[in-house]
Amino acid sequence: MKKIGILYGMEQTFPFAVNEYIQNIARYKQVKSELMTVKALRIDDFSDYNVIFDRASHEVPFYHSIMMQSALGNVKVVNNPFWNYPEDNFFNYSLAMKLGIKVPKTAIIPSKENPPGTGPDSFRNLIYPLNWKEIFDYIGFPAVIKPNQGNSGRNAFTVYNENEFFAAYDFTGSTTMILQEYIDFEKYFRIYVVGKKFHRLVDYDPRKPMHLRFSSQDLFIDPEIEKEILKIALKICNALGYDFNAVDIAIKGNNYYAMSFLNPVPFIEKNFMRPEDFNWIVSTTGDFLISLALEGKYIPSEYTWSQYLKGPKTAPKPSSKRRGRKPKASSEE
């Protein structure tokens, strides 16, 4: 019997729906799925799961250590715990640009306050005071200031001039921030990608409150726009090596911007999404986890993550198709 474990955190619907889906598929009785329980672990106590679907270790370092140790025991962890954890947004925008994907102009800036455990001598290499004029001339206004690591949509603000920037910057504490060009987009889409090839486009607007961001209407999109969006999303997911990800694409004029694509644990909640979108993500994820479990335990070569920095040699073929005053605070999830 192959085993799938699902590690979950604050989510209320998605992990449970995936678990139930796998359990209810009669033709896959050779696969067992369960919601994981975690204990204090010895270094010689390796997991007996074939696959772990990780929806929580990005928030809990204790879980993350267990995910990495599970990978040492040849468990397939989705997503790769050695690449999933250091969510460096500045690096990922740089990687996208290297892949030839258009991104907003972005600059990384040091934290307003010294990080814990550091002092003035820790920053003797830093040119200070910073040349703010050079940074502002490059980015322009309006601009978005947001954290460099983790969910950059939290504690993110749109600023319209230097005074507003410094007022927001003063509240950032010891968090390293990025300053980014504000894209006043005309259209915005989120693409959920499973297994680096299966995909689902949804209408999504990050400027709205969370309960209104997912459109309740059928998706209608020009086939040429859809083709370009999918090409970008699949290219990013294959470059990063993510088996589960969400890529946000903004369209302004004839330009396609990768806005948010480091989403290995994207927001997925039944009560906020169209039923057909939620059900597609659940079933596709369940089928993908089953396929991995049936392969058995193995040494996953993709944990040597540096190979992805070159990007995919050939673009993968899409596996499914589907037709179908600026805010002061900015948010992405």
Encode pLDDT of 200-233 as tens digits: 999 999 989 888 999 988 888 999 999 999 999 9
The CATH code of the domain that includes 143 is 3.30.1490.20
Q: How confident is the model at residue 151 (pLDDT cuts 50, 70, 90)?
A: low
Question: Does 256 reside within a domain?
Answer: yes
Same domain? For 112 and 155 the reply is yes
Query: Which residues are CB-contacts of 169 (< 8 A; sequence separation ≥ 6)?
Result: 109, 112, 145, 177
Question: Does 276 reside within a domain?
Answer: no
The CATH code of the domain that includes 39 is 3.40.50.20
Q: How confident is the model at residue 42 (pLDDT cuts 50, 70, 90)?
A: confident
Contact at 8 Å (CB) between 220 and 323? yes
| pLDDT top residue among 240 and 322 | 240
Contact at 8 Å (CB) between 103 and 252? no
Same domain? For 218 and 205 the reply is yes
pLDDT at 211: 87
**190 strand-pairing partners:** 202, 248
Same domain? For 144 and 28 the reply is no
Burial class from Cβ neighbours inside 10 Å (0-12, 13-18, 19+) for residue 293 reads buried
CA distance readout (Å), 250 to 98, 111, 245, 332? 19, 28, 17, 12
The token pair at 289 is: 């986890």
The CATH code of the domain that includes 258 is 3.30.470.20
Same domain? For 56 and 195 the reply is no
Choose among 50, 53, 60, 103: nearest CA to 80: 53
pLDDT at 51: 96
Same domain? For 75 and 129 the reply is no
Sole residue written with tokens 């993350």: 64
Range of the domain at 98: 88-102+184-263+300-324
Same domain? For 95 and 190 the reply is yes
**162, 181, 200 - which closes a domain:** 181
Same domain? For 188 and 222 the reply is yes
Query: Which residues are CB-contacts of 40 (< 8 A; sequence separation ≥ 6)?
Result: none
Q: Which helix (H) or strand (E) holds 68?
A: helix 61-72
Burial class from Cβ neighbours inside 10 Å (0-12, 13-18, 19+) for residue 181 reads middle
Same domain? For 234 and 315 the reply is yes
Encode pLDDT of 45-61 as tens digits: 888 999 999 999 988 98
DSSP class per residue in 267-312: ---GGGS-HHHHHHHHHHHHHHHHHHHHT-S---GGGSGGGGGG--
Task: Please state which of the ranges 167-181, 244-258, 287-301 shows the lowest mean pLDDT.
Answer: 287-301
Contact at 8 Å (CB) between 332 and 260? yes
Same domain? For 154 and 243 the reply is no
Encode pLDDT of 66-120 as tens digits: 999 999 889 999 998 887 555 788 988 998 898 899 999 999 999 999 989 998 8
Encode pLDDT of 190-201 as tens digits: 999 999 999 999
Question: Does 289 reside within a domain?
Answer: no
Encode pLDDT of 5-19 as tens digits: 999 999 999 999 999
Of the chain, the percentage scoring pLDDT greater than 90 comes to 60
Question: Does 25 reside within a domain?
Answer: yes
CA distance readout (Å), 236 to 15, 27, 85, 311, 319? 24, 33, 17, 8, 16
Encode pLDDT of 296-325 as tens digits: 776 665 544 455 455 545 445 555 444 433
**166, 181, 196 - which closes a domain:** 181
> What average pLDDT does this structure show over 237-249?
91
Question: Does 285 reside within a domain?
Answer: no
Residues making up the chain, counted from first to last: 333
Report whether pLDDT(331) > 60.
no
Same domain? For 200 and 177 the reply is no
pLDDT at 200: 96
**Domain tally for the chain?**
3
Same domain? For 37 and 170 the reply is no
Same domain? For 95 and 235 the reply is yes
Q: How confident is the model at residue 264 (pLDDT cuts 50, 70, 90)?
A: confident
Question: Does 243 reside within a domain?
Answer: yes
Question: Does 124 reside within a domain?
Answer: yes
Question: Does 306 reside within a domain?
Answer: yes
